[in-house]
């Protein structure tokens, strides 16, 4: 392994949460009017990837799977400073759930010869949090999830993470190659420089790969997706009672009564 | 095409296959090129004036970049207004523009604080024919986004979420802009300022004076959503017909120079008040309270009741007329639209969209000629100012510019005494009692003439305000 790290950051295009509305009459989500934007936690992933690159040396390649319009999120990542971008785009990917999606991303990361793969903690439109661990599992690589802070150790080919765990944090060192899921809001994503942003949105063109390019044409799509959305329901808010009690003793009594 | 053939083709497309077979690898693009000098013109703001300028210049073959503060042109502003469309119809495939309704009906109402209302309504048959008197109700967020897209389709570059903070000067001439981004300076031979009414860049760079208090109006406006049928029933509209309702008098905006309005969109109403900032300072009520009072006037309330508010905002509108206009042309820069004070806001007219587009278009043409000649100093750009002076824009501003001063002088009369006198006169005129009609007429006339300061006063006032309707 060379000293420079090859870093891949997975980003996803999601409907702008600020514009997704719930139709008050039918109770359904109206995503059609919402612009597509980069999944908010992915900004933290891009920032973390750039920080590691700036510390160690190497390149950051933004990676996404989606329709041609997903160029936009790759351009956003390149605007922030990613060096390259790859779009996995193919009708064959349609209907993929997290299993084939993480497989495709895993194969692409392998193809790119990645040392570190970054992802956001979860996406705002499906919130499974399964994709980064899925990539690690498919490639049999190490994984670091719920990461707050990173310390690269290029001499040892190791990445050390401060992980958020119940009640505190832990520090873990992982051997490369490793998949990192960054926790939302743990760093301050950088603002794209003006000239970089102009470049990303005008002259830059991401490379496009098909399912066959990464050899997964028979392993992706709706047919091989193990999960299916059975249906959607809007939950009626449960009325919550509120009560002020005078002192701790009364509070204890009330809790005992209710439960 | 068989799958085999396709993959064979893919392999053929790859420029330099690596030793092992595989998909094309991305090219490393770590170097950021500099765009200094790559564009002929930078447009500040992708509103109506900015997009008109960018579209015009792009069509003339210039490399143009628009820098817009919002995350999209029109800054997600769903507010509706009347778009006056003579020039924009020539510049674009206007049939495709996101429009709401054409103005089929205009009303002007005098409202008194006591609840009286007198309405004049007009619906000329000609307005129902194409091109509908070039007056369309649009939601500005949608419309501005579409218009900017026309400029992009013509070849302009649009960069959003980027605020211009200052102008860059070289040897006295404007040579680019400074933005709020890192590495945020961009050089270009010309800058088109199209930043709207809050013209901080032009003012900061000393190209325009900050607006006098008396030159600015405040507005509070809201958009409410209703069923389409509710709107069509309430305003007697069918299909794409719309109504533009204007209100004056102390029942509309209190003791201030200004007025209220309601515009009908497809499924929303745009409701607002606009009045002089000087009056706003003296009124104890805040703009949103003025708007609430307007909405609860007995002549207005039934039209706006119910629905759901989806947007509220307050805004400044220049109303200075020709005297408040800055120099339109500078070495390396031109000023367009609201930033140049090109708004007509006199009570009867609230127009800026048409002048924004016209000024953007004229500026775009002048910049294209200047760039082609290789010189972008003020003299080379002066064709813009000349075109504006020859156009209906400056003509209209001059024509109506006096109104605001006159209105401020006669505020009591116009916005207080007159609406009440008219209401009282009507009451007299149409009174149902056993007196003869001639007596009603007489007493009605007496009230009106009294309010105007006798026959001589009435004649003077009629003369003074004649231009408003000519
Ligand atoms: C309540 C109200 C009602 C109106 N009703 C009507 C009507 O019915 N009919 C009519 O014809 N006119 C109406 N007008 C006037 C009309 O809206 C304006 O005249 C018109 O929008 C001016 O266009 P513009 O392109 O000059 O400015 P704007 O439309 O204001 O566009 C300026 C653009 O520049 C951007 N910007 C500003 N500063 C910067 C910066 N520093 N860097 C980057 N971008 C920047 C803004 O985000 C915006 O997108 C109304 C105005 C108001 C406030």
Count CB-CB contacts under 10 A for residue A173. Answer: 14
Residue A167 domain flag: yes
Higher pLDDT pick, B292 / B6 = B292
pLDDT band at B13 (very low <50, low <70, confident <90, very high): very low
Task: Check: CB of residue B222 under 8 Å from CB of residue B311.
Answer: yes
pLDDT at B450: 74
Higher pLDDT pick, B413 / B41 = B41
pLDDT at A257: 81
**ω into B216 cis (within 30 of 0):** no
| Mean per-residue pLDDT, B211-215 | 62
Pairing of strands B101-111, B135-139: antiparallel
CA dihedral A141, A146, A149, A152 (to 10 degrees): 0
CA B198–ligand 1 middle distance (angstroms): 9
pLDDT at B408: 61
| Rounded (5°) CA angle B129-B131-B134 | 120
Q: What is the pLDDT of residues B365-390, one digit of tens each?
A: 999 999 999 999 999 999 999 999 98
Nearest to A194 among B28, B72, B184 (CB): B184
**B149: enclosing H helix or E strand:** helix B140-153
Tell me which chain B residues have a C-beta less than 8 angstroms from the C-beta of A190. 182
Q: How far is A21 from chain B (nearest CA, A)?
A: 12
Q: Which residues are bridge partners to B262 per DSSP? A: B245, B271
Nearest to B194 by CA among B378, B88, B67, B49: B49
For the cut 90, the answer to whether the pLDDT of residue B420 exceeds it is no
Q: What is the 3-state secondary structure (H, E, C) of A70-103?
A: HHHHHHHHHHHCCCEEEEECCHHHCCCCHHHHHH
CA dihedral A208, A212, A214, A215 (to 10 degrees): 170
| A193-202, B149-158, B212-221, B325-334: segment of lowest average pLDDT | B212-221
Radius of gyration of chain B measured on its C-alpha atoms: 26
Place of tokens 């194409």: B130
Question: Whole-angstrom Cα distance, residue B245 to residue B262?
Answer: 5
**C-alpha pair distances (Å), B351 with each of A96, B81, B319:** 52, 9, 10
Place of tokens 């392994």: A1
For the cut 70, the answer to whether the pLDDT of residue B460 exceeds it is no
pLDDT at B331: 97
pLDDT at A28: 61
E-strand spans in B3-71? 41-44, 64-67
pLDDT band at B356 (very low <50, low <70, confident <90, very high): very high
Question: Whole-angstrom Cα distance, residue B331 to residue A60?
Answer: 43
- The ligand 1 atom nearest the CA atom of B163: 42
Question: Whole-angstrom Cα distance, residue B267 to residue B139?
Answer: 11
pLDDT at B429: 65
Task: Check: CB of residue A107 under 8 Å from CB of residue A228.
Answer: no
Highest mean predicted confidence (pLDDT) among B21-35, B133-147, B174-188: B174-188
Which DSSP letter does residue A212 get?
G
Residue A99's φ and ψ, nearest 5 degrees, are -65, -65
Residue A67 domain flag: yes
CATH of the domain at A68: 3.40.50.620
Task: Check: CB of residue B341 under 8 Å from CB of residue B193.
Answer: no
Question: Whole-angstrom Cα distance, residue B156 to residue A231?
Answer: 44
pLDDT at A74: 97
For the cut 60, the answer to whether the pLDDT of residue B469 exceeds it is no
User: Is A246 exposed, middle or buried (CB count within 10 Å of its CB: 0-12, 13-18, 19+)?
Assistant: exposed
Residue A238 domain flag: no
Q: Which residues are bridge partners to A58 per DSSP? A: A5
User: Is B281 exposed, middle or buried (CB count within 10 Å of its CB: 0-12, 13-18, 19+)?
Assistant: exposed
Ligand 1 neighbourhood includes B47 CB (under 6 angstroms)? yes
pLDDT at A1: 46
Residue A242 domain flag: no
CA B13–ligand 1 middle distance (angstroms): 48
Q: What is the pTM of this model?
A: 0.84
Q: Which residues contact B412 (CB under 8 A, 6 or more apart)?
A: none
Question: Whole-angstrom Cα distance, residue B30 to residue B330?
Answer: 38
- The ligand 1 atom nearest the CA atom of B352: 19
pLDDT at A32: 64
The pLDDT mean for chain B works out to 84
Residue B469's φ and ψ, nearest 5 degrees, are -105, 0
For the cut 80, the answer to whether the pLDDT of residue B29 exceeds it is no
In tens digits, chain A (259 residues) has pLDDT values of 457 999 999 999 988 877 666 665 565 666 666 778 899 999 999 999 999 999 999 999 999 999 998 999 999 999 999 999 999 999 988 878 788 889 999 999 999 999 999 998 877 776 677 889 999 999 999 999 999 999 999 999 999 999 999 889 999 999 999 999 999 999 999 999 999 999 999 999 999 999 999 998 888 777 777 776 666 666 676 777 777 888 888 888 888 887 6
CA dihedral B122, B128, B132, B136 (to 10 degrees): 70
Host domain of residue A209: 5-227
CATH for B41-399 (3.40.50.300, 3.50.50.60, 3.40.50.1100, 3.30.2310.20) = 3.50.50.60
Return the structure tokens found at A171.
């520090």
Residue B351 CA, chain-centre distance (Å), reads 6
Question: Whole-angstrom Cα distance, residue B376 to residue B72?
Answer: 29
Domain count across chain A: 1
For the cut 50, the answer to whether the pLDDT of residue B10 exceeds it is no
Residue B68 CA, chain-centre distance (Å), reads 17
pLDDT at B118: 84
pLDDT at B30: 78
Q: How far is A223 from chain B (nearest CA, A)?
A: 20
User: Is B436 exposed, middle or buried (CB count within 10 Å of its CB: 0-12, 13-18, 19+)?
Assistant: exposed
For the cut 90, the answer to whether the pLDDT of residue B438 exceeds it is no
End-to-end CA, chain A = 59
Question: Whole-angstrom Cα distance, residue A135 to residue B465?
Answer: 76
Question: Whole-angstrom Cα distance, residue B62 to residue A77?
Answer: 29
Task: Check: CB of residue B119 under 8 Å from CB of residue B109.
Answer: yes
Q: Would you call A149 an interface residue with chain B, using a CB distance cutoff of 8 Å?
A: no
| CB neighbour burial string for A185-201, b if at least 16 within 10 angstroms, e if fewer | ebbebebbbbbbbbbbb
Nearest to B115 by CA among B302, B333, B267, B326: B302
Residue B407's φ and ψ, nearest 5 degrees, are -65, -40
Higher pLDDT pick, B422 / B190 = B190
Q: What is the pLDDT of residues B112-169, one digit of tens each?
A: 888 888 888 888 899 999 899 999 999 988 899 999 999 999 999 999 999 999 999 9
Q: Would you call A213 an interface residue with chain B, using a CB distance cutoff of 8 Å?
A: yes
Residue A232 domain flag: no
Task: Check: CB of residue B31 under 8 Å from CB of residue A201.
Answer: no
8 Å CB contact of A83 and B65: no
Q: Would you call A189 an interface residue with chain B, using a CB distance cutoff of 8 Å?
A: no
E-strand spans in B234-307? 241-248, 258-264, 268-276
Place of tokens 């400044």: B316
Per domain, the residue ranges of chain B are 41-399, 404-469
Return the structure tokens found at A143.
């994984």
- The ligand 1 atom nearest the CA atom of B201: 41
Residue A181 domain flag: yes
Question: Whole-angstrom Cα distance, residue B302 to residue B291?
Answer: 15
Q: What is the pLDDT of residues B282-309, one digit of tens each?
A: 778 888 999 999 999 999 999 999 999 9
Q: Would you call A234 an interface residue with chain B, using a CB distance cutoff of 8 Å?
A: no
| Rounded (5°) CA angle A96-A99-A103 | 95
């Amino acid at each position: 392994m060379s000293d420079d790290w090859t870093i891949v950051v997975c980003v996803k295009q999601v409907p702008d949460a600020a514009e997704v509305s719930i139709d008050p009459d039918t109770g359904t989500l109206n995503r059609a009017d919402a612009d597509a934007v980069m999944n908010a936690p992915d900004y933290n992933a891009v920032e973390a990837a750039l920080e590691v690159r700036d510390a160690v040396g190497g390149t950051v390649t933004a990676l996404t799977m989606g329709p041609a319009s997903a160029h936009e999120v790759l351009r956003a990542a390149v605007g922030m400073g990613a060096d390259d971008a790859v779009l996995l785009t193919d009708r064959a990917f349609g209907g993929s759930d997290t299993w084939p999606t993480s497989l495709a991303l895993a194969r692409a990361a392998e193809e790119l010869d990645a040392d570190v793969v970054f992802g956001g903690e979860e996406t705002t439109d499906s919130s499974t949090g399964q994709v980064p661990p899925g990539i690690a599992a498919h490639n049999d690589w190490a994984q670091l999830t719920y990461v707050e802070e990173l310390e690269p150790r290029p001499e040892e080919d190791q990445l050390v993470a401060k992980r958020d765990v119940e009640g505190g944090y832990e520090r873990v060192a992982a051997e490369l190659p490793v998949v990192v899921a960054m926790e939302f809001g743990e760093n301050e994503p950088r603002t794209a420089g003006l000239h970089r942003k102009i470049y990303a949105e005008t002259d830059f063109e991401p490379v496009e790969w098909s399912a066959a390019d990464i050899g997964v044409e028979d392993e992706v799509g709706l047919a091989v997706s193990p999960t299916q959305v059975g249906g959607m329901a809007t939950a009626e808010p449960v009325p919550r009672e509120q009560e002020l009690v005078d002192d701790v003793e009364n509070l204890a009594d009330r809790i005992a009564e209710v439960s | 095409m068989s799958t085999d053939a396709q993959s064979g083709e893919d392999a053929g497309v790859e420029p330099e296959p690596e030793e092992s077979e595989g998909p094309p690898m991305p090219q490393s693009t770590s170097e950021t090129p500099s765009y200094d000098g790559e564009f002929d013109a930078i447009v500040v703001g992708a509103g109506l004036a900015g997009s008109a300028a960018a579209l015009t210049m792009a069509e003339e073959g210039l490399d143009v970049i628009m820098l817009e503060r919002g995350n999209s042109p029109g800054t997600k502003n769903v507010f509706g207004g009347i778009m006056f469309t003579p020039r924009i119809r020539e510049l674009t495939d206007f049939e495709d523009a996101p429009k709401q309704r054409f103005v089929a009906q205009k009303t002007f109402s005098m409202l008194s604080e006591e609840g009286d209302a007198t309405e004049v309504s007009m619906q000329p048959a000609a307005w129902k024919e194409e091109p509908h008197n070039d007056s369309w109700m649009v939601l500005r967020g949608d419309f501005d986004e579409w218009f900017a897209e026309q400029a992009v389709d013509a070849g302009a570059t649009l960069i959003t979420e980027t605020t211009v903070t200052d102008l860059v000067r070289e040897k006295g001439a404007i040579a680019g802009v400074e933005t709020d981004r890192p590495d945020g300076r961009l050089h270009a031979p010309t800058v088109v300022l199209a930043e709207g009414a809050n013209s901080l860049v032009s003012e900061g760079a000393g190209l325009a004076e900050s607006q006098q208090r008396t030159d600015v109006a405040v507005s509070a406006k809201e958009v409410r959503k209703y069923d389409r049928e509710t709107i069509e029933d309430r305003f007697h509209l069918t299909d794409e017909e719309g109504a533009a309702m204007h209100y004056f008098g102390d029942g509309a905006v209190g003791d201030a120079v200004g007025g209220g309005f309601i515009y009908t969109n497809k499924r929303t109403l745009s409701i607002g008040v606009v009045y002089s900032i000087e009056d706003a300072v003296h009124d104890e009520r805040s703009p949103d309270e003025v708007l609430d009072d307007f909405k609860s006037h007995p002549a207005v309330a039934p039209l706006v009741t119910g629905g759901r508010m989806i947007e509220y905002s307050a805004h400044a509108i220049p109303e200075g007329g020709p005297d408040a206009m800055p120099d339109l042309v500078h070495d390396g820069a031109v000023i367009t639209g609201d930033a140049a004070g090109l708004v007509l806001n006199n009570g009867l007219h609230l127009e800026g969209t048409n002048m924004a587009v016209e000024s953007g278009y004229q500026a775009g043409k002048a910049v294209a000629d200047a760039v082609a000649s290789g010189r972008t100093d003020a003299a080379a750009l002066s064709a813009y100012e000349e075109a504006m002076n020859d156009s209906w824009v400056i003509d209209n501003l001059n024509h109506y510019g006096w109104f605001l001063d006159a209105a401020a002088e006669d505020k009591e009369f116009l916005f207080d005494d007159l609406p009440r006198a008219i209401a009282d006169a009507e009451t007299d005129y149409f009174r149902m009692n056993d007196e003869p009609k001639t007596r009603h007429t007489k007493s009605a006339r007496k009230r009106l003439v009294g309010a105007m300061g006798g026959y001589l006063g009435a004649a003077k006032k009629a003369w003074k305000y004649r231009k408003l309707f000519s």
